[in-house]
Chain A
Amino acid sequence: MDDIMVIARSTASRVLRMKAVYFLLAIGVCLIASGQLYGDITAGQQKAYTLDLGFLLVTLVGVLCALVACFDLPRERREKTMVALLSRPLGRDRYLLGKFIGICEIALVCMAIMGAALVVLSAQVASGRPGLEIVKGVIILFAGVVQLAAIGVVLGTFLKEWLATIVALIIFWLIYALGALACTAEGPARVLLMLLPNFAIMSAGGLVVRGVELEWIMVLHALMLAVAYSLAMLVVAGFIFKRKDIA
């Protein structure tokens, strides 16, 4: 387990050393904080606008973090860092798992910071206790991001940085759109749609905006789905990566 966490920490620390991450987080927090100024221009919908923008930004930050998987693996292969790492007694599947955990850690930290900013702001602009609903919403969003990161790991094992990122975004968008069909489709199409990752859960923020109370069971369900789907994706990634020459 130690070697997996070494890779995870090294992945996370490398991302955390990128100035762009702090810039992105600062912009995001500022944009969320600017929600305080919406009062006069939202025709009494300040809370909804603030939450909507906040969840959009949290999602954006989470998706960007997940996409790190798409370019981190090909970059390590191109720069030959992978040669140095995999020449050690480190299984390739453990290396992939470490990468995945590191990326999820980064996504969790970034989304937590943005989520916290949103909770603080919503406490000022809204009555009641929207904080807990925001936390639940962010956890569900995180479950979606985890699935996207797993897809990124699969693509990163055999595609170049830019191609893996574009394909991951296309897959994300397509599955997000198809997710809505899962309820109406029947027969094999329904089974196929059920097998795809459930990015529809990333609309959870919209429910919070509309004042719907999110059940904890829904949060748990989203997390379990993310874990199951990610494990399946990592098995696929491991299968591909084991056959790949690290030249």
Chain B
Amino acid sequence: MANLDNIINTAGLTKVYHRLLGFGSNLAVDDLNLAVPEGCTFGFLGPNGAGKTTTIKMLLGLISPTRGGGDVLGRELGNLEAKEQIGFLPEEPAFGGHLKAREFLNLCAGLSHIPRSQRRRRISLALDVVGLSDRAGDRLGEFSKGMLQRIGIAQAMLHNPKLLILDEPLTGLDPAGRMEVKRIMLELTHRGKTIFFSSHILSDVEELCDNVGILNRGRLILSGPLEKLLDAGGVEITVEDMPPALLEKIEPFVTGMAKQGRRWVLQLNDENSEKQVKKVLTEGGCCNIQDRRGTLKLEELFMRTIEQNDIAVGKEVENG
């Protein structure tokens, strides 16, 4: 299964949660085939309850898959040697408020098998990167959400891992906190780390990621390089004085249309539809036909993909 170009591969990864005494079940992740190239920043997107955190926990071996499997850094999910090269920031960082920042990082260093002689230097470096050097002696219980997130990133990068898995690193932060965390993530990207992170904040994902995967109802419905996905924004055709009789003929090919005075704006998904519509319009005697290649915003792509998937799932359910 291992594709050596990819740092994460999964094949048919599925998780079903069974309720107590077998009363029902919940399909959290369904047949997930994920490929994350090494060196990229991968945004793992999806609405609440889509299965993002469950997937991340399966990648880390915290949850065992019901079916399927995968590999991270060329080793099976949950492998301890692979974990030596993974840094993880949980969705809700719970690090024990009684510990001071430095004590906590020292504990993490011990668990990551960092030699004692290197611990002090590595801890200072990590605190420096996240801008918390002056708070090293403060207890984590006194930290704000943003500071906890930063100390979370510090513990994740402490052992200089190849892969960073960050679960919702930007959620719940104020604008300044978000800026700070984004700065750290960009710095890590420049250092050549692979970052796999889940998020709801699409503008941040668009800013940080070069690859994305969109998960809905446990299924990966779209995945690939962000630029390519956004370029697939379809075609927009504008035409003036279109006879109403042509509307019926072009309807099967368009995904949306709007009338603006004498002008019609038609939206199409692909080149084939474009050809068909242009043919109908030309044969119908229309003049002044203009086309424009569209580039989507990630938010549009996300909403469109989720909506289309919801409709498809709805039809599947209707058809039994």
Which A positions have Cβ atoms within 8 angstroms of B? 2-3, 5-7, 10, 13-14, 17, 79-81, 83-91, 243, 245-247
**Residues of the B chain whose Cβ atoms lie less than 8 Å from the Cβ of A86:** 60, 62
A-B pairs with beta carbons under 8 Å apart, 25 shown: A2-B110, A3-B111, A3-B113, A6-B107, A7-B111, A10-B107, A79-B94, A80-B90, A80-B92, A80-B94, A81-B96, A84-B88, A84-B90, A84-B93, A85-B111, A86-B60, A87-B62, A88-B88, A89-B80, A89-B84, A90-B80, A245-B57, A246-B62, A247-B57, A247-B62
Asked if A14 and B80 make an inter-chain contact with CB atoms under 8 angstroms apart, the answer reads no
Choose among A3, A79, A245 the residue that contacts B63 (Cβ–Cβ < 8 A).
A245
Most B-side CB within 10 Å, residue of A3, A13, A88: A88
Asked if A89 and B63 make an inter-chain contact with CB atoms under 8 angstroms apart, the answer reads no
Question: Nearest chain-B residue to A89 (Cβ)?
Answer: B83
With A80-B92, A84-B90, A245-B64 known as contacts, the answer to whether A89 contacts B112 (CB < 8 A) is yes
Asked if A2 and B63 make an inter-chain contact with CB atoms under 8 angstroms apart, the answer reads no
B98 within 8 A of A: yes
Q: Which of B158-200 touch A at CB < 8 Å?
A: none
Choose among B57, B60, B96, B111 the residue that contacts A14 (Cβ–Cβ < 8 A).
B96
Most B-side CB within 10 Å, residue of A13, A80, A87: A87
Instruction: Fill in one digit per residue for B94-122: 1 if any A CB lies within 8 Å of its CB, else 0.
Output: 11101000000001101111000000000
Choose among A6, A17, A80, A246 the residue that contacts B111 (Cβ–Cβ < 8 A).
A6
With A2-B110, A245-B63, A246-B62 known as contacts, the answer to whether A87 contacts B83 (CB < 8 A) is yes
**Residues of the A chain whose Cβ atoms lie less than 8 Å from the Cβ of B110:** 2-3, 5-6
Asked if A87 and B63 make an inter-chain contact with CB atoms under 8 angstroms apart, the answer reads no
Bound Cα distance from A6 to B111, whole angstroms? 7
Asked if B80 and A87 make an inter-chain contact with CB atoms under 8 angstroms apart, the answer reads no
Bound Cα distance from A7 to B80, whole angstroms? 17
Beyond contacts A84-B94, A88-B112: 12 other A-B pairs, Cβ-Cβ < 8 A, are A2-B110, A3-B113, A10-B107, A80-B92, A80-B94, A84-B93, A87-B88, A90-B80, A90-B111, A91-B80, A245-B64, A247-B54
A10 → B minimal CB distance (Å) = 6
Shortest beta-carbon contacts, A-B, top 3:
A6-B110, A87-B88, A89-B83
Bound Cα distance from A17 to B100, whole angstroms? 13
Bound Cα distance from A71 to B307, whole angstroms? 45
Asked if A81 and B62 make an inter-chain contact with CB atoms under 8 angstroms apart, the answer reads no
**Residues of the A chain whose Cβ atoms lie less than 8 Å from the Cβ of B95:** 81, 84
Asked if B94 and A2 make an inter-chain contact with CB atoms under 8 angstroms apart, the answer reads no
Most B-side CB within 10 Å, residue of A2, A7, A13, A84: A84
Bound Cα distance from A84 to B95, whole angstroms? 7
Bound Cα distance from A17 to B97, whole angstroms? 11
Bound Cα distance from A89 to B72, whole angstroms? 13
B220 within 8 A of A: no
B81 within 8 A of A: yes
**Residues of the A chain whose Cβ atoms lie less than 8 Å from the Cβ of B215:** none
B100 → A minimal CB distance (Å) = 11
B212 within 8 A of A: no
B213 → A minimal CB distance (Å) = 20
B86 within 8 A of A: yes
Choose among A83, A89, A91 the residue that contacts B62 (Cβ–Cβ < 8 A).
A83
Asked if A81 and B94 make an inter-chain contact with CB atoms under 8 angstroms apart, the answer reads yes
**Residues of the B chain whose Cβ atoms lie less than 8 Å from the Cβ of A90:** 80, 111
Bound Cα distance from A89 to B61, whole angstroms? 11
Bound Cα distance from A91 to B95, whole angstroms? 19
Bound Cα distance from A245 to B94, whole angstroms? 18
B105 → A minimal CB distance (Å) = 12
**Residues of the B chain whose Cβ atoms lie less than 8 Å from the Cβ of A7:** 111
Bound Cα distance from A188 to B86, whole angstroms? 51
**Residues of the A chain whose Cβ atoms lie less than 8 Å from the Cβ of B111:** 3, 6-7, 85, 88-90
Asked if B83 and A246 make an inter-chain contact with CB atoms under 8 angstroms apart, the answer reads no
Asked if B80 and A243 make an inter-chain contact with CB atoms under 8 angstroms apart, the answer reads no
B163 → A minimal CB distance (Å) = 12
Question: Nearest chain-A residue to B152 (Cβ)?
Answer: A84
